[in-house]
Amino acid sequence: MKKLISILLSGIVTASSLTNVFAVSDEFYSADETIIRQELTQMTDGDREEFINENLDVALQDMSILVTLTANQNYDQIAEAVEKSISDGLTAVQIKEAIYQSAPYCGYTRAIKAMDAADAALTALDIELPSESRITSDEETRYDDGLAAQRHIFGPSIGTITDDMSQSQKLQTLYLSGICFGDFYNRAGLSLNTREFLTFCTIAANGTCLSQVASHITGNLNVGHSKDMLRAALLVNEEYNGEEKTVEALKAINESTQEPSEGVVEPTAAEAIDIEEYTTDSQELTDTMIHYQTDDADGYIDANLDAQMQKIVLDAVNAYIDQTAAVTSDNEQAQSLVDLILLGAEGGRETDVPVVVAENLSAGNTADMMLAAIYLCTPYNGFPRTLNIVNAVNSALENAESITITMQIGNPTMTINGAEKGIDADGTVPVIVNDRTLLPVRAIVEEIGGTVAWNDETREVTLTYEQDTIVLTIDSTTAYLNEEPVTLDTAPAIINDRTMLPIRFIAESFKFNVDWTQETETVTITKTTLAEESITEPESTADENEAEENKTLIVYFSATGNTESLAEKLQGVTNGDIAEIIPVEPYTSEDLNYNDSDCRANQELDTDARPQIQPLSVDIEQYDTIVLGYPIWWGQCPPAVRTFLENYDLSGKTIMPFCTSGSTGISGSLSKIRELCPDSTVTEGFRGTNSTTDSQIESWLENNGYAE
């Protein structure tokens, strides 16, 4: 058994599952934002105070204020909050650990500044600062310990790293389980459940991170915390968060249909490991940031961003956080990345992402360069903002169009998106001159939609592509890019009556990416662009009759009822029909014991089984859009869903996948759906919980082109 890490100090508050004490009206529990605002306005100070005190212990009130002030960068109010916490009986360790817990969720620099302010306040009160480390996991165990804590809160469906994950997905998983949970939830000083409560408070204070607010509403309910406990925390902190953030989070709570778990047993406490003492907690917090580098053992960030680009990006995000002069760059690629990561730093700008992604692609930045820049900024922006922007970028890239051209030295054939084609009718081949690759570029430039013009008198070649123009002269190392002179390593030449030009300079000037494989002497030229309709809102050409013909069916498989609840919510939003995927042999609780490698669910996944299912209750032929729901099992869709996809012909239909999961995303399961339904359009997926709001569903549907 992997150990679950948490420690309860004497006097620390545990989970609250108190029920509503009617200090507020029933309208306070509405999911209508307008009504919630009215209730907040009409609530008397006495009713507010009564509701808070009946549902939230004073110690938790104080700690929630500390993390809220940290997330909002209200450092000048930390001293007052610390003084109140001490007077209410909190220890210095509890105060410091509350702020510490906020770091991966609001950003390390915010937490470090708040920690320094707390240290100054404690010192002013003549309270000795604790210097001993409260880390409980070493470098070898931190990931597994974090994953165990994660599964305690969100359930066994939380997946780990798999071979089919992209490098960016692996890095995200390492950061979430190893850092957020391994380095923070597993620390001594506060209970695991208290840390989950403080995480909710921190993310609510961030604002614009509603999907993560919903996830941690679920997490709190899973560990036995009541909805009123969370509502009370929002009321305590409304003066710091403001009305907008408060209403958004209250709405998310009120839309949740889940009830708090009963009889939840917290994990066994673990002792802090014996490591050197730190002078300050902010020093220790700073040192733990190294894990964002060491966890990137494959070098994903360094492979996609050079040191100069990394510096520009980090300078830009820190300038935004510190509210100092904005960082800009004359380099188009660097500035495009800065524009992207600032959308993530600000939050709530996801609708602007497609335009900025298109600008990045046009500047020559790859998808991995964009994602690497985002993950580079994770310790500064916090994990919730990182997830927001990563999901928005991946969504935009779903509509990307790519071209890949491959040429090999001495080979007269090139490949364009996998299709072979002769370079020209004379069998011309690429050559190497002075360690530089020269290619007959006419075929390439014309293939990508550019033009080539030859001036026999001046021996000049003029290449144009989109907004760029290159002029090269045979035997001259001076070229002109948009009328600006550029010195070449190797001059263009005429070989066997063919004009041979330096391909790297040309391709990169046209914002293409160039890779050279020494072993095979192969040049690969790639470029990705976004379809125009994914950048601007397309005009609707469908009339009302056409819209009526686009029928929607929600099909779902639900093992424990969570997916069924979300499917019913989707039905309410879409007004579609609904049908359940029902296995012939129902799953028992023993079948779903994921910690047992021999349980039915694990065995079916391991063997890629196809369990029999009952016929659907509807005729699937009459539907154009299939909204397909399922729980995540070890990062994948369950075998019963695969049976459904193989049993029914979904050719020509649009499949919109959604899943239920406490934390694991849906992206890892989409490849199997696309594999089984090659003739269907499979959209971006959506991960929901019992706390998912109608507005989140509507946003997903709208972003994927759904129309009732």
Give the pLDDT confidence of 574-632 residue by residue, as tens digits.
999 999 999 999 999 888 886 677 889 888 988 999 999 999 989 999 999 999 999 98
On the question of pLDDT at 537 being above 50, the answer is: no
Average pLDDT over residues 18-27: 60
Higher pLDDT, 235 or 547: 235
Closest to 633 in 3D by CA, of 613, 661, 673:
661
Residue 625 one-letter amino acid? T
Question: What are the structure tokens assigned to 368, written together?
Answer: 């991995």
Among 344-358, 368-382, 615-629, name the one with the lowest average pLDDT. Answer: 344-358
Fold of 32-281: AhpD-like (1.20.1290)
Average pLDDT over residues 109-129: 96
Match 């009370």 to its residue by tokens: 232
User: What pLDDT, on a 0 to 100 scale, did the predictor assign at position 157?
Assistant: 79
Determine the length of the chain. 708
On the question of pLDDT at 21 being above 80, the answer is: no
pLDDT bin (cut points 50, 70, 90) of residue 542 is: very low
pLDDT bin (cut points 50, 70, 90) of residue 480 is: very high
Higher pLDDT, 528 or 188: 188
On the question of pLDDT at 491 being above 80, the answer is: yes
Give the pLDDT confidence of 190-243 residue by residue, as tens digits.
999 999 999 999 999 998 888 899 999 999 999 999 999 999 999 999 999 988
User: What pLDDT, on a 0 to 100 scale, did the predictor assign at position 351?
Assistant: 82
Average pLDDT over residues 407-422: 85
User: What pLDDT, on a 0 to 100 scale, did the predictor assign at position 535?
Assistant: 52
Higher pLDDT, 665 or 504: 504
Q: Which helix (H) or strand (E) holds 375?
A: helix 367-376
User: What pLDDT, on a 0 to 100 scale, did the predictor assign at position 692?
Assistant: 66
Average pLDDT over residues 261-290: 81
CATH 3.30.457.10 fits 402-530, yes or no: yes
Average pLDDT over residues 113-126: 96
Give the pLDDT confidence of 170-193 residue by residue, as tens digits.
999 999 999 999 999 999 999 999
- Distance between start and end Cα atoms, the chain: 49
User: What pLDDT, on a 0 to 100 scale, did the predictor assign at position 538?
Assistant: 38
pLDDT bin (cut points 50, 70, 90) of residue 545 is: very low
Q: Quick one: DSSP state of residue 182?
A: I
Among 154-168, 280-294, 637-651, name the one with the lowest average pLDDT. Answer: 154-168
Higher pLDDT, 431 or 496: 431
Closest to 236 in 3D by CA, of 9, 79, 54:
54
Mean pLDDT of the chain: 86
Question: What are the structure tokens assigned to 469, written together?
Answer: 């123009």
Q: Where are the domains of the chain?
A: 32-281, 299-399, 402-530, 544-703
Residue 48 one-letter amino acid? R
Residue 206 in contact with residue 344, Cβ under 8 Å?
no
Average pLDDT over residues 54-72: 97
Question: What are the structure tokens assigned to 646, written together?
Answer: 């193989």
Fold of 544-703: Rossmann fold (3.40.50)
On the question of pLDDT at 271 being above 90, the answer is: no
Quickly count: other Cβ atoms within 10 Å of residue 270's Cβ. 17
Average pLDDT over residues 413-433: 82
CA atoms within 13 A on the CB side of 464: 6
Q: Quick one: DSSP state of residue 633?
A: B
Q: Is 450 helix (H, G, I), strand (E, B) or coil?
A: coil
Match 């959506």 to its residue by tokens: 686
Q: Quick one: DSSP state of residue 465?
A: E
Calculate the CA 100 to chain-centre distance: 22
Q: Which residues pair with 57 in a beta bridge?
A: none
Residue 286 in contact with residue 100, Cβ under 8 Å?
no
Q: Phi then psi for 124, rounded to 5 degrees?
A: -65, -25
Residue 398 in contact with residue 683, Cβ under 8 Å?
yes
Query: How many whole angstroms separate alpha carbon 508 and alpha carbon 521?
Result: 19
What percent of the residues of the chain are helix, what percent strand, and what percent coil, each to the nearest 5?
50, 15, 40
On the question of pLDDT at 39 being above 60, the answer is: yes
Higher pLDDT, 686 or 610: 610
User: What pLDDT, on a 0 to 100 scale, did the predictor assign at position 667?
Assistant: 64
Among 52-56, 370-374, 633-637, name the one with the lowest average pLDDT. Answer: 633-637
Question: What are the structure tokens assigned to 279, written together?
Answer: 């002078």
Q: Quick one: DSSP state of residue 407?
A: E
User: What pLDDT, on a 0 to 100 scale, did the predictor assign at position 246?
Assistant: 93
Q: Phi then psi for 268, rounded to 5 degrees?
A: -65, 140
What is the architecture of the domain spanning 299-399? Answer: Up-down Bundle (1.20)
Higher pLDDT, 76 or 421: 76
User: What pLDDT, on a 0 to 100 scale, did the predictor assign at position 708?
Assistant: 61
Average pLDDT over residues 92-110: 96
Percent of the chain with pLDDT over 90: 47
Equal CATH topology for 32-281 and 299-399: yes
Burial (CB count within 10 angstroms: exposed 0-12, middle 13-18, buried 19+), residue 150: buried
Q: Quick one: DSSP state of residue 636?
A: B
- Cβ neighbors of 147 (< 8 A, separation 6 or more) are 2, 158, 160, 177, 181, 182
Residue 31 in contact with residue 254, Cβ under 8 Å?
yes
Residue 659 in contact with residue 631, Cβ under 8 Å?
yes
Residue 552 in contact with residue 561, Cβ under 8 Å?
no
pLDDT bin (cut points 50, 70, 90) of residue 132 is: confident
On the question of pLDDT at 702 being above 60, the answer is: yes
Query: How many whole angstroms separate alpha carbon 506 and alpha carbon 494?
Result: 17
Burial (CB count within 10 angstroms: exposed 0-12, middle 13-18, buried 19+), residue 480: middle
Buried b (16+ CB within 10 A) or exposed e, 386-402: bbbbbbbbbbbbbbeee
Q: Quick one: DSSP state of residue 588?
A: P
Percent of the chain with pLDDT over 70: 91
Q: Which residues pair with 530 in a beta bridge?
A: 400
User: What pLDDT, on a 0 to 100 scale, did the predictor assign at position 640?
Assistant: 95
Residue 637 in contact with residue 660, Cβ under 8 Å?
no
Average pLDDT over residues 496-521: 82
Measured CA distances, 571 to 140, 198, 578, 618, 689 (Å): 46, 33, 7, 15, 15
User: What pLDDT, on a 0 to 100 scale, did the predictor assign at position 4?
Assistant: 37
pLDDT bin (cut points 50, 70, 90) of residue 19 is: very low
User: What pLDDT, on a 0 to 100 scale, did the predictor assign at position 689?
Assistant: 66
Residue 20 one-letter amino acid? N
Residue 493 in contact with residue 438, Cβ under 8 Å?
yes
Q: Quick one: DSSP state of residue 5?
A: -
Q: Quick one: DSSP state of residue 613?
A: B
User: What pLDDT, on a 0 to 100 scale, did the predictor assign at position 531?
Assistant: 59
- Cβ neighbors of 532 (< 8 A, separation 6 or more) are none
pLDDT bin (cut points 50, 70, 90) of residue 502 is: confident
